[in-house]
Amino acid sequence: EASVWQNLHHPNILPFLGLTALDSVTYLVSPWMENGDLLAYVRKNPSTDCLKLLLQIARGVEYLHTFDPVVGHGDLKAANILISSTGDARIADFGLAHGLVEGGGSEDHSTAWEYGGNVRWQAPEIIGATTDEKARRTTKSDMFAFGRVITEVYTHEVPFAYQSATLVIVAWVTSGQLPTRPTDKAVIARGLNDQMWGLVKECCRKRPFLRLTAKEVVRKLQTALDIRDGGRRPSLFARAFSG
């Protein structure tokens, strides 16, 4: 974990401070994030700016995916995103992260499979893989997980929170089924509108090559934020998510 993390320096990546040993156990050291993880934070602060937080996370992912060598996080979820004292998002937990092998475009890079992560956030190509080679994590599987993070931010729940049976979730994910779209007025009021749900679907497409890249997501979210904060027409906000 330290071999990857120590080289990463970005406002939306949790800083790596070093290593320390205690009773023959080595610990990774980072700044204390007093606001805890993303899911706990949005639950305690229901009026938080969800769009701004998602843009910060997307920028962190874009940094990883454009790093040299490209870094795939491999376990992106709200529990692995911490919130600073200023309310800013910091991507953490690089235990499954690796520099991706060179060759081809950045979207072809992938990490070797490790048995970790959770099916609620994993892409169908990983869950349904029959060999290590087929189950290689990619930047595309990170983007699938980012789509799940969007739902966490707005619903304040993990993906498929209404289902406890892992095998059922596995069947849903491998078939391309999305979590049920919330109809709760509070969730919609937080910003999970038609456009944002469309972004979830574009990130969580079953076929990896059809998913948005981190760069594309950053562009869409930044445009939407600029339009919203500029007080421009709602129709322009919708247009930010098109194309």
Q: Mean pLDDT over all residues of the chain?
A: 86
Dig out the tokens for 159 from the structure. Answer: 């993906």
pLDDT at 15: 86
Dig out the tokens for 169 from the structure. Answer: 């979730």
pLDDT at 102: 41
Between 16 and 123, name the one with better pLDDT: 123
Task: Give the number of other CB atoms < 10 A from CB of residue 26.
Answer: 9
- Res. 48: pLDDT tops 50: yes
β-strand pairing of 71-72 with 18-22 = unpaired
Overall average pLDDT of the 166-185 stretch: 95
User: How far is Cα 32 from Cα 210, in angstroms, rounded to an integer?
Assistant: 38
- Res. 194: pLDDT tops 50: yes
Burial 157-185 (b: 16+ CB within 10 A, else e): bbbbeeeeeeeebbebbbeeebbeebeee
User: How far is Cα 218 from Cα 16, in angstroms, rounded to an integer?
Assistant: 24
All structural domains of the chain: 2-240 (1.10.510.10)
pLDDT tens for residues 100-146? 544 333 344 344 444 456 899 999 999 987 777 667 788 999 999 99
pLDDT at 109: 39
Residue type, 21: A
- The DSSP secondary structure of 43-57, one letter per residue, reads HH-TTS-HHHHHHHH
pLDDT at 111: 43
pLDDT at 5: 73
Catalytic residue IDs: 75
